[in-house]
Amino acid sequence: MKTEIMKYALAACIAALTACTGATGDNTKDDMNTTHPALTQHWDKTFPQSDEVDHRKVTFRNRYGITLAADLYMPRNTAGRLPAIAVSGPFGAVKEQASGLYAQTMARRGFVTLAFDPSFTGESGGEPRYVASPDISTEDFSAAVDLLSTMPEVDPGRIGIIGICGWGGFALNAAAVDTRIRATVAATMYDISRCTANGYFDTMTSDERYRMRRALSAQRTEDYRNGTCELAGGVVDPLPDDAPQFVRDYYAYYKTPRGYHERSLNSNSGWNKTSALSFLNAPILAYSDEIRSAVLLIHGEKAHSRYFSEDAFKRLRGDNKHLSIIPGASHVDLYDNTGAIPFDEMERFFNENMR
């Protein structure tokens, strides 16, 4: 299984793993000066719109001056200041996919929710496009908390976050630094920095890391010379005959009408290859053992990535840390399988820890 996973390194949940394993992805280039698109006003989500919540587009800025685009979901027939949740992920997805589904569902349960596109992706700003940074990705969560904290409909003392896949790791990093975050859910979590630097199951050697650094450093020169950013490629397409099940699961979500979106990196040409450089020397969970607020880690029993949540849970301290393993669920089941995603458990968790 480990050999198959290394063979099929995906940009779906880790920046430029294609470069880590020697695969070339596609050679699509992105113009460094491309600006982000205007906000789309029609419903273009991969899930149906609920008539139980109000929805509108909003923008806000992070402390780097990047304008982020988000979908704000408001529960109907409520009064007073409400608890709120900011949601993002998976890594390489957009708010029209899994994070929007989570946000709309939690809004139906009484929370003000904000599903946002990370910096450099989707409808959010930031140039060059399709760059990932552990610092800026963590900051995006705090910027979402900035917005929610100042909304008249929100109780600033009851704000939580949900990170899906790679954004589960960023959510834990945000919880470690931002004390305004009262409760954190990390669903089907990836530790992007660990996986980039060490490979799946920590099988990468120092020599392999050095070769990756050399290749990515050379790519920086080439990108600067050409004024373009080489992209790593999204989810593998066409699907190889010998692809393991977790690759088939990614394909079934990102490359079919079930989860495909025109602005999703994983559905298309993936991240900027040199994004991997940002994660090599920046372990995002270094201070997760100092989180004092509540944390719930959710993972599928059959997920290839399950060890990320199990290892992260071992580092957490205190009585309000929880690990929930969903029987029979895969990694991707927790993107959109509403029969597997434990929304009841999340609702109880947030209500109990954001009083």
Q: What is the pLDDT of residue 38?
A: 77
Q: Could you report the per-residue pLDDT of 263-317, keeping only the tens digit for each?
A: 999 999 999 999 999 999 999 999 999 999 999 999 999 999 999 999 999 999 9
Summary mean pLDDT of the chain: 91
Query: 36 pLDDT exceeds 70?
Result: no
Provide the pairing of β-strand 67-75 with 228-230.
unpaired
Q: What is the pLDDT of residue 14?
A: 39
Query: 12 pLDDT exceeds 60?
Result: no
Q: What is the pLDDT of residue 29?
A: 59
107 SS3 class: helix
pTM for the predicted model, two decimal places = 0.92
Spatial distance between the Cα atoms of 85 and 87, rounded to a whole number of angstroms: 6
Query: 23 pLDDT exceeds 80?
Result: no
Q: Could you report the per-residue pLDDT of 145-196, keeping only the tens digit for each?
A: 999 999 999 999 999 999 999 999 999 999 999 999 999 999 999 999 999 9
18 or 349, greater pLDDT: 349
End-to-end CA distance of the chain: 44
E strands along 76-129, which residues? 82-88, 112-116
Spatial distance between the Cα atoms of 275 and 261, rounded to a whole number of angstroms: 22
Cβ atoms of 328 and 302 closer than 8 Å: yes
Q: What is the CATH number of domain 2-353?
A: 3.40.50.1820
CA–CA distances in Å: residue 42 to residues 8, 55, 57, 93, 353? 36, 11, 10, 19, 35
Q: What is the pLDDT of residue 22?
A: 31
Q: What is the pLDDT of residue 28?
A: 53
CA 85 to chain centre: 15
Closest CA relative to residue 80, chosen from 53, 112, 115? 112
Query: 252 pLDDT exceeds 70?
Result: yes
b/e sequence 115-126, b meaning 16+ C-beta within 10 Å: bbbbbbbbbbbb
Query: 27 pLDDT exceeds 80?
Result: no
- DSSP letters along 197-215, please? HH-GGG---HHHHHHHHHH
Spatial distance between the Cα atoms of 341 and 185, rounded to a whole number of angstroms: 12
Residue 1 binned pLDDT confidence (cut-offs 50, 70, 90): very low
For 142, the enclosing helix (H) or strand (E) is helix 134-149
Residue 210 binned pLDDT confidence (cut-offs 50, 70, 90): very high
Q: What is the pLDDT of residue 94?
A: 98
b/e sequence 240-260, b meaning 16+ C-beta within 10 Å: eeebeebbbbbbebbbeeebb
Q: Average pLDDT, stretch 54-63?
A: 97
C-alpha dihedral (335, 339, 344, 345), degrees to nearest 10: -60
Query: 18 pLDDT exceeds 60?
Result: no
Q: Average pLDDT, stretch 16-32?
A: 40
The C-alpha angle with vertex 261 and arms to 256 and 265, in degrees rounded to 5, equals 105
Residue 37 binned pLDDT confidence (cut-offs 50, 70, 90): low
Which two tokens mark 222? 């080439």
Query: 43 pLDDT exceeds 80?
Result: yes
Estimate the crossing angle of helix 134-149 against helix 166-177, to 10 degrees. Answer: 60
Q: Is 80 exposed, middle or buried (0-12, 13-18, 19+ CB in 10 A)?
A: exposed
Query: 206 pLDDT exceeds 70?
Result: yes
Residue 250 binned pLDDT confidence (cut-offs 50, 70, 90): very high
Q: Average pLDDT, stretch 57-63?
A: 97
Q: Could you report the per-residue pLDDT of 76-107, keeping only the tens digit for each?
A: 999 899 999 999 999 999 999 999 999 999 99
Q: What is the pLDDT of residue 162?
A: 99
